[in-house]
């Protein structure tokens, strides 16, 4: 991977050609192996020791993961790592959401506590990893939210008119991070 953007330099292990699993005071990383399929089909591909979930064009594919934020977090942001599987131009429509829950995995159609749907330009070439940070920006965990589990959702809205990229994309992982108050 010739180019990286944003905080990926802190989480990409060039020796092992893989994303490092981060669990620190300010960031919790979720590799694709920890993501549960909610809708669509799960296609996992491994190339150069890098596992990725392939999300095809024209299909809504959703994944979720639940976790318990550290008690020191008052606000949280969510982000994800992705790239394209082939050349092309256009936008990919991504939807991220957070739901306060006491269940391990909830349904994507349930009411969310916060959500964002945005179109992102595809990388300039396949294999360039993009980081979309601060989705569901500054999600408030207080007051009275401590002790709850939170379910993070990610979805490629492949059938939407805003998703103009006609190729497949690869999801490499998600993360939640502590936001300053």
CATH number, domain containing residue 152: 2.60.120.260
Distance CA 108, CA 114 (A): 12
The answer to whether residue 142 sits within a structural domain is yes
Distance CA 82, CA 6 (A): 12
pLDDT at 164: 92
CB 21 within 8 A of CB 35: no
Tokens 């809504």 locate to 60
Please report which confidence band the pLDDT of residue 1 belongs to, taking 50, 70 and 90 as the band edges.
Answer: very low
The answer to whether residue 2 sits within a structural domain is no
Asked if the peptide bond before residue 172 counts as cis, ω within 30 degrees of 0, the response is no
The whole-model pTM stands at 0.75
Per the model's pLDDT, the better-predicted residue between 71 and 157 turns out to be: 157
pLDDT at 165: 92
When divided into structural domains, the chain yields a total of 1
The answer to whether residue 124 sits within a structural domain is yes
Q: Where are the alpha helices (DSSP H) in the chain?
A: 8-11
The answer to whether residue 81 sits within a structural domain is yes
- For the cut 60, the answer to whether the pLDDT of residue 110 exceeds it is no
What range defines the domain where residue 120 resides? 8-179
CA dist list (Å): 93 to 41, 50, 138, 156: 17, 23, 21, 6
pLDDT at 52: 86
pLDDT at 142: 59
pLDDT at 111: 61
CA dist list (Å): 37 to 31, 72, 96, 138, 162: 13, 29, 14, 25, 23
Structure tokens at 45: 């591909």
The answer to whether residue 24 sits within a structural domain is yes
Distance CA 78, CA 21 (A): 15
The answer to whether residue 168 sits within a structural domain is yes
The answer to whether residue 12 sits within a structural domain is yes
Sign (positive/negative) of CA torsion 58, 67, 36, 7? positive
- For the cut 50, the answer to whether the pLDDT of residue 2 exceeds it is no
Distance CA 135, CA 114 (A): 10
- For the cut 80, the answer to whether the pLDDT of residue 138 exceeds it is no
CB 38 within 8 A of CB 153: yes
The answer to whether residue 3 sits within a structural domain is no
Q: Please compute the mean of the pLDDT values over residues 148-163 and round it to a whole number.
A: 85
């Amino acid at each position: 991977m010739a180019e990286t953007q944003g905080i990926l330099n802190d989480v990409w292990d060039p020796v092992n050609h893989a994303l490092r699993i981060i669990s620190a005071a300010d960031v919790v990383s979720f590799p694709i192996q920890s993501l549960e399929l909610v809708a669509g089909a799960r296609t996992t591909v491994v190339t150069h020791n890098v596992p990725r979930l392939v999300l095809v064009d024209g299909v809504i594919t959703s994944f979720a993961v639940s976790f318990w934020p550290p008690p020191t977090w008052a606000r949280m942001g969510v982000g994800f790592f992705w790239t394209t599987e082939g050349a092309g131009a256009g936008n990919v429509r991504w939807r991220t959401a957070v739901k306060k829950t006491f269940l391990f995995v909830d349904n994507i159609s349930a009411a969310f506590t916060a959500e964002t749907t945005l179109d992102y330009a595809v990388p300039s070439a396949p294999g360039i990893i993009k980081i979309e940070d601060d989705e569901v920006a500054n999600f408030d965990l207080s007051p009275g939210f401590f002790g709850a589990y939170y379910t993070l959702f990610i979805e490629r809205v492949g059938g939407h008119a805003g998703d103009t990229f006609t190729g497949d994309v690869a999801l490499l992982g998600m993360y939640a991070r502590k936001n300053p108050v």
